[in-house]
Chains A and B, each alone.
Chain A
Amino acid sequence: MTDRNSIIGKVDWPLLLMYFGLVLIGWLSIYSAGLGDGNHPIYDVSQFSGKQMIWIGSSLLIGFIILLFDAKFFDAFAIWIFAIVVFLLVVVLVYGKATKGATSWISLGGGFKLQPSEFAKMGTALALASYLGRYDVDLKNRKSRLIAYAIILVPAALVLLQNDTGSALVFASFIFVLYREGMPGAGVLMLIALGAVAVFVLTLLWGSKVMAIVLGCMFALTLTYYLLTKKKGLWTMVTVFVCFIAFVFVVDYAFQKVLEPHQRIRIEVLLGLKEDMQGAGYNLHQSKIAIGSGGVFGKGFLQGTQTKYDFVPEQHTDFIFCTIGEEGGFVGSLVVLLLYVGMLIRIIRMAERQRSDFSRIYGYSIAGIIFVHVAINIGMTIGLVPVIGIPLPFLSYGGSSMLAFSIMLAIFVKQDANRLNVL
Chain B
Amino acid sequence: MQGITDMKITNRNQASRQYVIIGIIVAVGVLYLIKLFSLQVLDKTYKETADSNVLRFVTQYPARGKIYDRNGELLVYNEAVYDLMVIPSQVKDIDTAEFCRLLGITESVFADRINKARSYSSFKASAFVPQISKEDYAHIGEILYRYPGFFFQTRTLRHYPNSIAAHTLGDIGEADKEQIDADPYYQRGDYVGKSGVEKFYEKELRGKKGLKVVMVDVHNREKGSYRDGMLDSLPSPGKDLYLGLDAELQAYGEQLMNGKTGSIVAIDPKTGEILAFVSSPTYDPNLLVGRVRGANFRALLNDPKKPLINRAVSGTYPPGSTFKMVNGLIALQSGSIVPATQFHCNGPGSTPIRCTHFHGSSPNLANAIENSCNPYFYEAFKTTINNPKFGDIKKGYEYWKNMTWAMGLGHKFDTDIPYEKSGNIPTRAYYDKMYDGSWNSVTIRSLGIGQGEILVTPLQLANIAATIANEGFYYPPHLIRAFGDSTAIPEKMTTKIYTGVEPRHYKVIKAGMQSVFEGGHGTARGSKIPGITAGGKTGTAQNPHGDNHSIFIAFAPVEDPKIALSIIIENGGYGSTWAAPIASLMMEKYIRGYSERPNVEKRMMEGFINYSKVK
Which residues on A are within 8 Å of B, measured CB to CB? 35-39, 135-136, 138, 176, 179-182, 187, 277-278, 282, 285, 288-289, 291-297, 299, 305-306, 308-309, 311, 325, 329-330, 333-334, 337, 340-341, 344-345, 348-349, 351-352, 357, 360, 364, 367, 371, 375, 378-379, 382-384
Instruction: Report the bound CA distance from A404 to B20 in whole Å.
Output: 27
Q: Which of B10, B39, B51, B233 contacts A182 (CB 8 A)?
A: B10
Contact B231 A285 (CB under 8 A): yes
Residues of B in contact (CB 8 Å), total: 45
Contact B40 A333 (CB under 8 A): yes
Instruction: Report the bound CA distance from A354 to B89 in whole Å.
Output: 53
Contact B123 A35 (CB under 8 A): yes
29 sample A-B contacts, Cβ–Cβ < 8 Å, listed by A number: A36-B123, A37-B121, A176-B21, A179-B20, A180-B21, A182-B11, A288-B39, A288-B46, A289-B231, A291-B40, A292-B39, A292-B40, A295-B47, A299-B51, A325-B39, A325-B40, A334-B36, A337-B33, A337-B36, A341-B26, A344-B22, A345-B22, A345-B25, A345-B26, A348-B22, A348-B25, A360-B11, A383-B35, A384-B35
Closest to A182 in B: B14
Closest to B43 in A: A292
Cβ proximity bits B15-53 to A, threshold 8 Å, 1 near / 0 not: 101101110011011011101110111010111000101
Write out the residue numbers on chain A whose beta carbons fall within 8 Å of the beta carbon of B40: 291-292, 294-296, 325, 329-330, 333
Given contacts A277-B231, A285-B231, A382-B35, 18 further A-B contacts (CB under 8 A): A35-B122, A36-B122, A138-B10, A181-B11, A182-B17, A277-B233, A291-B40, A295-B40, A308-B89, A308-B123, A330-B36, A337-B29, A340-B29, A344-B25, A348-B21, A352-B18, A384-B31, A384-B32
State whether the Cβ of B118 lies closer than 8 Å to any Cβ in chain A: yes
Q: Which of B29, B36, B47, B51 contacts A382 (CB 8 A)?
A: B36
Q: Indicate the member of A179, A285, A341, A351 with the most B CB atoms within 10 Å.
A: A341
Write out the residue numbers on chain A whose beta carbons fall within 8 Å of the beta carbon of B28: 371, 375
Contact B22 A296 (CB under 8 A): no
Distance in angstroms from A401 CB to nearest chain B CB is: 21
Write out the residue numbers on chain A whose beta carbons fall within 8 Å of the beta carbon of B81: none
Closest to B45 in A: A292
Cβ proximity bits B192-235 to A, threshold 8 Å, 1 near / 0 not: 00000000000000000000000000000000000000010100
State whether the Cβ of B7 lies closer than 8 Å to any Cβ in chain A: yes
Contact A293 B121 (CB under 8 A): no
CB-CB nearest 8 A-B residue pairs: A292-B46, A308-B123, A330-B40, A341-B29, A182-B14, A36-B123, A292-B39, A333-B36
Closest to B35 in A: A382
Write out the residue numbers on chain B whose beta carbons fall within 8 Å of the beta carbon of A182: 10-11, 13-14, 17
Write out the residue numbers on chain B whose beta carbons fall within 8 Å of the beta carbon of A333: 33, 36, 40
Contact A291 B36 (CB under 8 A): yes
Contact A309 B57 (CB under 8 A): yes
Distance in angstroms from A179 CB to nearest chain B CB is: 6
Contact A38 B32 (CB under 8 A): no
Distance in angstroms from A255 CB to nearest chain B CB is: 25
- B-side interface mostly: helix
Write out the residue numbers on chain B whose beta carbons fall within 8 Å of the beta carbon of A306: 55
State whether the Cβ of B4 lies closer than 8 Å to any Cβ in chain A: yes
State whether the Cβ of B349 lies closer than 8 Å to any Cβ in chain A: no
Write out the residue numbers on chain B whose beta carbons fall within 8 Å of the beta carbon of A383: 35
Instruction: Report the bound CA distance from A11 to B456 in whole Å.
Output: 83
Closest to A342 in B: B29
Distance in angstroms from B118 CB to nearest chain A CB is: 7
State whether the Cβ of B487 lies closer than 8 Å to any Cβ in chain A: no
State whether the Cβ of B54 lies closer than 8 Å to any Cβ in chain A: yes
Q: Which of B3, B10, B46 contacts A136 (CB 8 A)?
A: B3
Contact B122 A38 (CB under 8 A): yes
Write out the residue numbers on chain A whose beta carbons fall within 8 Å of the beta carbon of B610: none
Which residues on B are within 8 Å of A, measured CB to CB? 3-4, 7, 10-11, 13-15, 17-18, 20-22, 25-26, 28-29, 31-33, 35-37, 39-41, 43, 45-47, 51, 53-55, 57, 89, 118-124, 231, 233
Write out the residue numbers on chain B whose beta carbons fall within 8 Å of the beta carbon of A179: 17, 20-21
Instruction: Report the bound CA distance from A325 to B32 in whole Å.
Output: 12
Write out the residue numbers on chain B whose beta carbons fall within 8 Å of the beta carbon of A367: 21
Instruction: Report the bound CA distance from A294 to B37 in whole Å.
Output: 11
Write out the residue numbers on chain A whose beta carbons fall within 8 Å of the beta carbon of B14: 180-182
Write out the residue numbers on chain B whose beta carbons fall within 8 Å of the beta carbon of A364: 21
Write out the residue numbers on chain A whose beta carbons fall within 8 Å of the beta carbon of B46: 288-289, 291-293
Contact A135 B41 (CB under 8 A): no
Write out the residue numbers on chain A whose beta carbons fall within 8 Å of the beta carbon of B37: 330
Closest to B25 in A: A344
Distance in angstroms from B102 CB to nearest chain A CB is: 26
Instruction: Report the bound CA distance from A219 to B5 in whole Å.
Output: 44
Instruction: Report the bound CA distance from A375 to B30 in whole Å.
Output: 11
Contact B3 A135 (CB under 8 A): yes
Write out the residue numbers on chain B whose beta carbons fall within 8 Å of the beta carbon of A135: 3-4, 7
Distance in angstroms from A382 CB to nearest chain B CB is: 5
Contact B21 A325 (CB under 8 A): no
Instruction: Report the bound CA distance from A285 to B40 in whole Å.
Output: 14
Closest to A297 in B: B51
Instruction: Report the bound CA distance from A349 to B10 in whole Å.
Output: 18
Closest to A311 in B: B57
Instruction: Report the bound CA distance from A27 to B10 in whole Å.
Output: 43
Write out the residue numbers on chain B whose beta carbons fall within 8 Å of the beta carbon of A360: 11
Contact A348 B36 (CB under 8 A): no
Closest to B21 in A: A176
Contact A38 B231 (CB under 8 A): no
Contact A309 B18 (CB under 8 A): no
Closest to A299 in B: B51
Write out the residue numbers on chain B whose beta carbons fall within 8 Å of the beta carbon of A348: 18, 21-22, 25
Contact A371 B25 (CB under 8 A): yes
Distance in angstroms from B450 CB to nearest chain A CB is: 53
Instruction: Report the bound CA distance from A116 to B321 in whole Å.
Output: 71
Write out the residue numbers on chain B whose beta carbons fall within 8 Å of the beta carbon of A340: 29
Write out the residue numbers on chain B whose beta carbons fall within 8 Å of the beta carbon of A375: 28, 32
Distance in angstroms from A376 CB to nearest chain B CB is: 10
Distance in angstroms from B21 CB to nearest chain A CB is: 5
Distance in angstroms from B56 CB to nearest chain A CB is: 9
Contact A334 B33 (CB under 8 A): yes
Contact B7 A357 (CB under 8 A): yes
Q: Indicate whether A305 sits within 8 Å of B32 (C-beta atoms), given known contacts A176-B21, A296-B41.
A: no
Instruction: Report the bound CA distance from A136 to B55 in whole Å.
Output: 63
Instruction: Report the bound CA distance from A309 to B4 in whole Å.
Output: 59
Instruction: Report the bound CA distance from A309 to B123 in whole Å.
Output: 6
Write out the residue numbers on chain B whose beta carbons fall within 8 Å of the beta carbon of A294: 40
Closest to A291 in B: B39
Distance in angstroms from B582 CB to nearest chain A CB is: 53
Distance in angstroms from A205 CB to nearest chain B CB is: 18
Distance in angstroms from B354 CB to nearest chain A CB is: 67
Instruction: Report the bound CA distance from A294 to B52 in whole Å.
Output: 10
Closest to A326 in B: B40
Contact A341 B122 (CB under 8 A): no
Distance in angstroms from A261 CB to nearest chain B CB is: 20
Write out the residue numbers on chain A whose beta carbons fall within 8 Å of the beta carbon of B43: 292
Contact A278 B233 (CB under 8 A): yes
Instruction: Report the bound CA distance from A305 to B209 in whole Å.
Output: 22
Q: Which of A39, A295, A297 contacts B118 (CB 8 A)?
A: A39
Distance in angstroms from A94 CB to nearest chain B CB is: 31
Write out the residue numbers on chain B whose beta carbons fall within 8 Å of the beta carbon of A180: 14, 17-18, 21
Q: Indicate whether A293 sits within 8 Å of B47 (C-beta atoms), given known contacts A39-B122, A305-B55, A352-B18.
A: yes
Distance in angstroms from B124 CB to nearest chain A CB is: 6
Distance in angstroms from A244 CB to nearest chain B CB is: 22
Contact B35 A305 (CB under 8 A): no
Distance in angstroms from B336 CB to nearest chain A CB is: 57
Write out the residue numbers on chain B whose beta carbons fall within 8 Å of the beta carbon of A138: 7, 10
Distance in angstroms from A96 CB to nearest chain B CB is: 25
Instruction: Report the bound CA distance from A12 to B22 in whole Å.
Output: 19
Write out the residue numbers on chain B whose beta carbons fall within 8 Å of the beta carbon of A37: 121
